[in-house]
Structure 1
């Protein structure tokens, strides 16, 4: 069997059916779908069991986190290739076929990835993700920015996963980029220049989750720069940290309720400025964006003043 698709899920009753059908309806049909339930307490298992397809395999364990849930799926996988998708994300119908073909045509590559678009909780398009093309040895580029963007993206040769190891279950976040970096040390990547992942964003994130993400991701960054392959890339470390804090700044603006947004966002923005290489225009842009979202009344007054002063 060429491809095993692993869906880690915890209380995904609202979205998992749509996610499963986006896999079952792939143009590439030689697949198994492993649903790794992580101790759901809602009707997730009932929803899944009502989908009749011989390619579906259901695992159910006590809650242990997304990394453990994915790892359980890897252990049971029979495919030559493995892909992961979160229980609220979607794929275009040709996602697996194009990624599989890319790896079949590039024997030196072990990871195929595509581009991502972001959708709302109701499935509406929000924005395009990064459109970064990186082929071959991508370690230095991946060190600076996570251009795969999410854990629902790549198709990976199982033998490569078996060599580098599975997801680090001690990490409460950033476990996906941690694994992508380990893969990029020894293996080449190939890019499908097409948005094929629809990543569902939630407005329910809390600042405490972002602070946890900050601590865990900085741990992953420090670990990555200790790899022997990063020995001559230490000059990129500040840029990596700056890019990460830029991401956190926008994440805070988008997801934290207004009452707790300002202090958290300003903290992330300050760390972005502190680590950002000398790029004045980018700093100005970030500051304008922060003022617009953090102090909307002030920014509206400035805009209104400009309109009246120059007319």
Structure 2
């Protein structure tokens, strides 16, 4: 099998990443690291490894998509595995993935994974990368996921791909700054005749990494449009089931909304909104065919005028704003109670041991609210909402 790692200015992580591959219980593989024109010590660190399974390709700076393609074109293995330079894998990752692939004859094998916060060093399960699918069994025919764009995420590092299957599809990574993996991954998932999902958690995915391109999405929002358009074009020109097409259209609505919500307020202009809504308008479905009612409302905006789009967009997220306001109010109330109890403790510590436990409970509840999916999602959505309101007031 072939492991391909694209690297760019990854000096802080590349040794841990490469070590995790070279120390695998499976010994028969090739590791291809493609450096995308790093300007730090990444290349020098890679060259310190003395292992004949490792080869290094040094390329001028372009993007991770091109780096992955360069590695894939050189690869000779029957299976392809793409790992990011700031992630790492468990000791038996490659063995378990290849065993699953060979025993099931699957086109794609998907495993579970978890987050590692690069700042706090805390870990947490990655719960949304495998949804509503049966695990530890071959998925084929009617058992294949009917919503592949919702069941999985369009990144490659938790998936093993059969090489001749990929070659037959004629797919490669898009050579662009961001969203360069969605076409390769989602087309493979949509066209696979056999899938296998294992319950084994085999990959550590680093998050909260300030060097990640995910933190600079405002500079490359057109890449998301390019990915969605390329996937849609491929699916239209290559036969897929109606359920897969419906899944794709739902994903377009959701992914467009998420991209606009994650942009800086000064980057979310009417022209940007128009570009996303124009794409959504090309893939309309009856409202009853959207998995999420909010996505159905959002997709309907594609047929509105610019001013109507802005007004409806604000209205669409008013409920999210209300939920966040409730959460903030709840936090403020808890903070006030916590402060009051803390003051009481300082005044009469010997008589307030019970209150001390209550303070701790409140602090735990506050942390849980701040870490909740609704609170985090709402915070992301408020930025574009604020921008849209300012536009409407002009």
Common fold, TM-score beyond 0.5? Answer: yes
Equivalent residue of 2:197, what SS?
Answer: strand
Distance 1:220 1:173, change over 3 A: farther
1:179 to 184, 206, 222: 184
Aligned length: 291
* Equivalent residue, structure 2, for 1:219: 229
Deviation per CA, 1:51-96, whole angstroms, max 9, x where unpaired? Answer: 2222211111112321221121122222221211010011122211
Aligned 8 A contact 2:3 2:82 in 1 = yes
Residue number among 94, 106, 109 corresponding to 1:112 in the alignment: 109
Among 320, 325, 328, the alignment partner of 1:300 is 328
Q: 1:24 to 1:199 in 2, by over 3 A?
A: same
Deviations 1:174-212 (A, max 9, x none): 332312333342542211112212221234513414623
Distance 1:9 1:291, change over 3 A: farther
Q: Is the counterpart of residue 198 in structure 1 residue 204 in structure 2?
A: yes
Q: Provide the secondary structure at the position in 1 that maps to 2:157.
A: coil
CA distance in 2, matches of 1:16, 1:55: 16
TM-score normalised over the length of structure 1? 0.77
Q: Tell me, yes or no, if the aligned pair for 2:2 and 2:77 is still in contact at 8 Å.
A: yes
Matches of 2:145 and 2:176, distance apart in 1: 21
Q: Is the 8 A contact 2:101 2:109 kept in 1?
A: yes
The aligned counterpart of 2:66 is: 68
For residues 228-280 of structure 1, what are the alpha-carbon distances to aligned partners after superposition, in whole Å with 9 as ceiling and x for unaligned?
43363444454222332465477x2xxx7xxx45985xx99x989x9865648
What secondary structure is seen at the aligned counterpart in 2 of 1:152?
coil
Residue in 1 that maps onto 2:160: 155
Question: Residue 136 of structure 1 is aligned with which of 130, 140, 157?
Answer: 140
Higher percent of residues as helix: 2
Tell me which structure has the larger Cα radius of gyration: 2
Aligned-residue CA RMSD (Å): 3.8
Gaps of 5+ in 1: none
Following superposition, the deviation at residue 151 of structure 1 comes to: 2.1
**Offset of 1:148 from its aligned partner?**
4.2
Q: How far apart, in 2, do the equivalents of 1:29 and 1:112 lie?
A: 19
2: CA distance between counterparts of 1:99 and 1:34? 18
SS of the residue corresponding to residue 114 of structure 2 reads: strand
Query: Helix, strand or coil for the counterpart of 1:114?
Result: strand
2:311 maps to which residue? none
